[in-house]
Amino acid sequence: MSDRQAKIRELAAAALSEGRVDYFIGWKQGFNPSEVIPAFVRSADEVDELVWNPLAHHNLTTFLKRKMPDPPNARIGVCVKGCDSRTLVALLQEELVDKERIYVVGVPCDGIVNRRRIEKEFPDEVVDISFAGDTVTAVTRAGDSMEFAKGDLLFDHCNTCRYPNPFYADDLAADPVPEPEDRTPMWGSIEEFEALSPAEKDAKLAEAFETCIRCFACIHACPVCVCWDQCVNRSRRPALVGQRVDTKENLMFQMVHMFHVAGRCPSCGACDRACPVEIPLYLLHRKMNKELYDMLGFEPGVSLEEKPAFQTFKLDDPFGEH
Amino acid sequence: MKFLAQDQLQAFLGHLAGESRVVAPVKGDDGVVLFRPWSPGTEVELDVLLAKQSAKEFVFRQSETYLRYGYAMEGEAAAVVDDSHEAKIAIDDPAELRAAQDAAVTAHATLVAEPVNDAPAQVIFGLRPCDARGFVQMDNVFGGYGGFYFDPYYNAKREATTLIAVTCRDPRSTCFCTTVGGSPDGTDGVDALLTQVEGGYTVETFSEKGEAVLGFSGLADASTAQTLYAETVKEQAVARVDIAFELEGVRENLRANIEDPGWHELAMRCISCGTCTYVCPNCYCFNITDEMVEGQGERIRTWDNCFNPIYTMETSGHNPREVKSNRFRNRFSHKFWYYPEKYDSLLCSGCGRCITHCPTRIDIREVLSVMGAPRAAAAPAATGEEA
Amino acid sequence: MAGAQTNGGAKTRLTFADVQAGATTAQAGKLAGNPYLPQMATVVDIVDETPNIKSFRVRFDDEAVMAALSFEPGQVGQLGIFGVGESTFAINSSCSEKRYLQFSVMKAGEVTSALHELNIGDKVGVRAPMGCGFPVDAWKGKNILYIMGGIGSAALRATISYTLEHREDYGDITILYGARTPLDLTYKYDIEDWQIRKDIEAVITVDRDFPGWEGKVGFVPAVLEEMAPNPANTIAITCGPPIMIKFVLLGLQKLQFTDEQTYTTLEKRMKCGIGICGRCNIGPRYVCVDGPVFSMEELRELPDEM
Amino acid sequence: MAQATDTTQAAGTTPPGAEDDVKVVGIVCNWCSYAGADGAGTARLKQEFEMRLLRVPCTGRIDPLFAIKAFEKGADGVLISGCHPGDCHYSEGNYYARRKFELLDRMLPFLGVEPDRFKYTWVSASEGARWQKVVNEFVTKVKALGPREGRAL
């Protein structure tokens, strides 16, 4: 793991000192060692703050979407994991990001740890998370510690990941990790939800969306939600989504996000991790991708040549009445 | 000082619920702790220090209807929009029909508008002193302080609300209440304060509303040992909160640094969502919109925030805070410069929620230690990492 | 407005009891009880000013409210349609006009488009007056120079009326008004009046040649430079599109007008109009309560968020 | 959308006292299915009256969110109909739309809406009889399910 970190620093330093990028986006340690946050590095002297470990969950490609770069025409270096690279490919498919202005460092990934799962084990604050082999050690502020097996802490979409290596990268931070031979997607825990009755589903959704505060974190954290600053969720004309905050309108709010990223969203889970009230958004987005795969054999963001599913059609699409 | 035994807690809440709605931090099935209306038998979560959201929602509603109105059709106008099978006025052209309907709605309708202000008595139980202090800071804005307007919606709920806070035993590393003049055992805005001691809680009251809760028969007088224990808990808690930045001079420095390029650097990882403002116990900005269905409408106010990219966008398309870093600057400057200038107080109680819930963990302490301190002209890029 | 008091916050917070006892705020006036509630009003007249600007004359349904109405030149009001929303407009009828309040509305967004659909007799909600007016009393004995472009005239019309109604209190009065085309000139009835009067100077200009236009042609800042008004004992007040204001302010500076002599009135997206909702601030100042009238001196202190 | 909703209400045909009846929204394209429905009417083909029609220029204009919005606002069933594939007035609008509707059809059950409450189909201008059949079958199924009482959608 640390050799990937060293390689990221080396590649970033080279790109910055050669003047190929204005800034380089990677990950760094947050305010204490239990957090990893996005890092924006402007000079080769600062690359030592870049880190790589299984807490580096942020999908940094969201900082490439329109109106995010500062200045707007900046040339940007960016680190991507396998899933992140798929959102980048989705952006490139529609030319929403200028290929010429980005330098992509791909980081082969062994899976990302769900920090919230650790947090829930303690009433106290977790201030340190460290990794040794497959053992994860968490320490609280009061000094209590607990060990976990890394495999138990991985995000659902990491457990079922078929693309651990970046799809699109200018340079790699390590040799590709072994990939599953069978690339048939797996859909993880959504089956449990699928099995519920309509009334049970409705109740579960109501419970989850009742707490939504409409902070737009899901939409702004999403790399492929590109009209983020002009979102119809905020519009009063059309008034597709009511501004009244209640369960139904909150679900409608999320439906806008979901249907508008269909065909571009590879279920990277950025929205889910950004949600401050922990609404299980991955359920909806993975279900959507499952159905898309079933309908069209389509997986978002796995080919630069392909168009997103809803920007094209086939005369003989195998569904609907003829 | 009174003492409430742990096994009397449910009875105490039940007693409070007899007269008003009780709101308390409750852990959901998904492990998320939020303030929710309490019902008998529900376990109150006091071990997790801070609920995910502050309790402000129960006084300053996330969305609140403040005006209802209705257009009632009369005579000829009613005939135009009559949806019975035999409309009395037949208009074939859909565009014309639509125009006639529109005209009917606005032209000949009787408009009835009625104000709405619903404020049942409630007790917010189990909030922390920083949350209570957040209300005090919002009071300035909504309470007509300093010659401004008096907000009847906020104040109706505020006056009907009793705040029963619990001393923070185990402040988090993100807590910085003492930096901004608060304390883990602060009493600003607190009607009654509970402090966890062995076997229960000591109870202190600081207002008439607070004294009203002493009517519960299960309260005992606190022993000297319990009182001393509570003092120790408080002292230890205070010692565990670090001073995060130097408050002196922040306002002047923010003013001096307003055009500093450091704002761009700090805002780089901001995704411009509104999480920090919505979990904040004292961010109070809002939007006003009209919602109308079938001639019946409501004017509602909804939380809004300065990170919303269209928050300041004008009809012409001109946006004074078009750039992300300008919106970012507004939040921190508002809390530590704009608001203090108007109300001579701070708009931050140091709960640290904005740090822990920010999707990219933007740290208000870092922002203030960088931008609230003197900056050299043409300062280099900010990389300040909070210790 | 009253300045912020400097003792601890909680103690001076008003309560319902205080408000009922009349201990409310200077600005709140009759809205003190509930500043959010619009007064029901009826459209009594509509004037088509230009192809996309209409003036609405509205009268409060409550005669007592109408009779008690008083405002300062430069103050604004919220005009709204139930079911669509409210927007802020300058009150541009004269302060001495007791029959109605006039607002001029350019068709642009959701609310203004709906306003343009109104007919005489329709109901609207009005919250007025709001904000601060121009310090017309402090200007007594001075020369006044109005520099306006397009719909900017709406923000200054009440002030012009005031100074003309109190003509003897002021020195020379000069009005420079420009629009894109003659069709875009608002208040043509006022312009006729200004041009007839001997006691004021009115210069009307359009941006470029237009068939049938025999008046001046040229952008407002250029015409201002050409006029070269003397800054001595003169107050300059400008309002118009942001780009025009920018060049007019530069021009005034070149003509040696000081910041204290220069005033403008600003527009921002507003919702509550009472200094709470937070979106119309420029730094620590809220356009809705601290403005919309600002002197250049005040604006220099603020961040560049116009 | 708001405009479209208004039209539905204006054209609503619910007889008085029918609160227990279901509300069904039909979103149809101008060129085929609306004309088909017109044809059915002209031919006096008896149809279930719970259907409220909403006309759009082309099924390509229909965002799946229209249907979701209808459910959210209390519709008990949503039927979408347009030109047969290959016959779109704008050549290919319904091909794009077909993909969106299929995804919607598959997502709705996941959101707690019974499969019989949503259907997308194709009815041409000349198929008045087919329109009658489609409407009657669809509304009958929705009636069998009764009014919805969703808390989330």
Tokens of C261: 């002599």
Domain span at A124: 113-153
Residue type, A266: P
CATH number of C35-130: 2.40.30.10
pLDDT category at C274 given cuts 50, 70, 90 is confident
Tell me how far apart the 2 most distant CA atoms of chain A are, in Å.
66
Q: In chain D, which residues have their Cβ closer than 8 Å to the Cβ of B294?
A: 9
Which letter does DSSP use for residue B337 in this model? I
Asked if A179 and A147 sit in the same domain, the reply is no
Q: How high is the pLDDT of residue A114?
A: 94
Q: How high is the pLDDT of residue B100?
A: 61
Q: How high is the pLDDT of residue B104?
A: 52
Architecture of domain C143-265: 3-Layer(aba) Sandwich (3.40)
Q: Residue with structure tokens 């929602």?
A: B57
Asked if A137 and A161 sit in the same domain, the reply is no
Cα–Cα distance for residue pair C242/C305, rounded to 1 Å: 12
Residue from B82, B98, B105, B290 whose CB has the most chain D CBs within 10 Å, to mutate: B98
With respect to residue A238, please indicate whether it lies within any of the assigned structural domains: yes
Asked if A8 and A80 sit in the same domain, the reply is yes
Residue type, B352: G
Distances (CA, A) of B220 to A266, B1, B200, B232, C31: 60, 9, 11, 20, 48
Cα–Cα distance for residue pair D24/D74, rounded to 1 Å: 9
Tell me whether A229 touches chain B (CB under 8 Å).
yes
Q: In chain A, which residues have their Cβ closer than 8 Å to the Cβ of B386?
A: 31
Nearest to C244 by CA among C153, C134, C170, C135: C153
pTM value is 0.89
Overall domain count for chain A:
2
Q: Which segments of chain B are extended strands (E)?
A: 2-5, 21-27, 33-37, 63-72, 110-115, 122-127, 161-166, 192-197, 200-205, 220-221, 286-293, 296-303
What ipTM was assigned to the predicted interfaces of this complex?
A: 0.89
Q: How high is the pLDDT of residue B88?
A: 43
Q: Going residue by residue through chain B (387 aa), what tens digit of pLDDT does each one get?
A: 899 999 999 999 999 999 899 999 999 988 899 999 999 999 999 988 899 999 999 999 999 988 888 877 655 545 554 444 444 445 566 677 666 655 555 544 566 777 777 888 999 999 999 999 999 999 988 887 766 788 888 988 999 999 999 999 989 999 999 999 999 999 999 999 999 999 999 999 999 999 998 889 899 999 999 999 999 999 999 999 999 999 999 999 999 999 899 999 999 999 999 999 999 999 999 999 998 877 788 899 999 999 999 999 888 888 889 899 999 999 999 999 999 988 888 999 999 999 999 999 999 999 999 999 998 754 444 444 433
Number of H helices, E strands in chain B: 14, 12
pLDDT category at D5 given cuts 50, 70, 90 is very low
Nearest to D83 by CA among D143, D23, D28: D28
Asked if A41 and A178 sit in the same domain, the reply is yes
pLDDT category at D134 given cuts 50, 70, 90 is very high
Flag whether pLDDT at D3 surpasses 50.
Answer: no
Q: How high is the pLDDT of residue D2?
A: 37
Q: How high is the pLDDT of residue B381?
A: 46
pLDDT category at A285 given cuts 50, 70, 90 is very high
State pLDDT tens for residues B6-61. 999 999 999 999 989 999 999 998 889 999 999 999 999 998 889 999 999 999 99
As a whole number, mean pLDDT of residues C220-234 equals 93
A31–B361 CB contact, under 8 Å: yes
User: What is the least distance, in Å, from the CA of A237 to any CA of chain C?
Assistant: 7
Q: How high is the pLDDT of residue A69?
A: 93
Residues whose CB falls within 8 Å of the CB of residue C132, separated by 6 or more in sequence, listed in order: C1, C72, C74, C75, C289, C290, C291, C292, C293
Flag whether pLDDT at D49 surpasses 90.
Answer: no
Which letter does DSSP use for residue A307 in this model? P
Cα–Cα distance for residue pair C130/C152, rounded to 1 Å: 18
CATH 3.40.50.80 domain residues, chain C: 143-265
Q: In chain A, which residues have their Cβ closer than 8 Å to the Cβ of D107?
A: 287-288, 291
Chain A residue nearest residue C113, CA to CA? A237
Contact assessment for residue A69 and residue A76, using Cβ atoms and an 8 Å cutoff: yes
Asked if A162 and A285 sit in the same domain, the reply is yes
Q: What is the dihedral of CA A241, A247, A253, A255, to 10 degrees?
A: -110
Cα–Cα distance for residue pair A56/A81, rounded to 1 Å: 9
User: What is the least distance, in Å, from the CA of A241 to any CA of chain C?
Assistant: 15
Q: How high is the pLDDT of residue B384?
A: 40
**Angle between helical axes of B364-371 and B324-333 (0-180°, round to 10):** 90
Asked if A183 and A247 sit in the same domain, the reply is yes
According to DSSP, the residues that pair with A27 across neighbouring strands are: A38
According to DSSP, the residues that pair with B69 across neighbouring strands are: B113, B297
Tokens of D14: 């619910």
Cα–Cα distance for residue pair A201/A194, rounded to 1 Å: 8
D13–B85 CB contact, under 8 Å: yes
Q: Which is higher by pLDDT, D7 or B1? A: B1
CATH 3.40.50.960 fits D22-126, yes or no: yes
User: What is the least distance, in Å, from the CA of C190 to any CA of chain A?
Assistant: 36
Flag whether pLDDT at D130 surpasses 80.
Answer: yes
Asked if A135 and A278 sit in the same domain, the reply is no
With respect to residue A322, please indicate whether it lies within any of the assigned structural domains: no
Q: What is the DSSP pairing of strand B122-127 with strand B161-166?
A: parallel
Tokens of A272: 């889910």
CATH 2.40.30.10 domain residues, chain C: 35-130
Q: Residue with structure tokens 């400008």?
A: C238
User: Among residues A97, A127, A153, which one ends one of the domains?
Assistant: A153
D11–B101 CB contact, under 8 Å: no
State pLDDT tens for residues C11-52. 355 666 666 665 544 343 434 467 888 888 999 999 999 999
Tell me whether C73 touches chain B (CB under 8 Å).
no
Give me the DSSP letters along B196-245. EETTEEEEEE-SHHHHHGGG-TT-EEPPHHHHHHHHHHHHHHHHTSPP-S
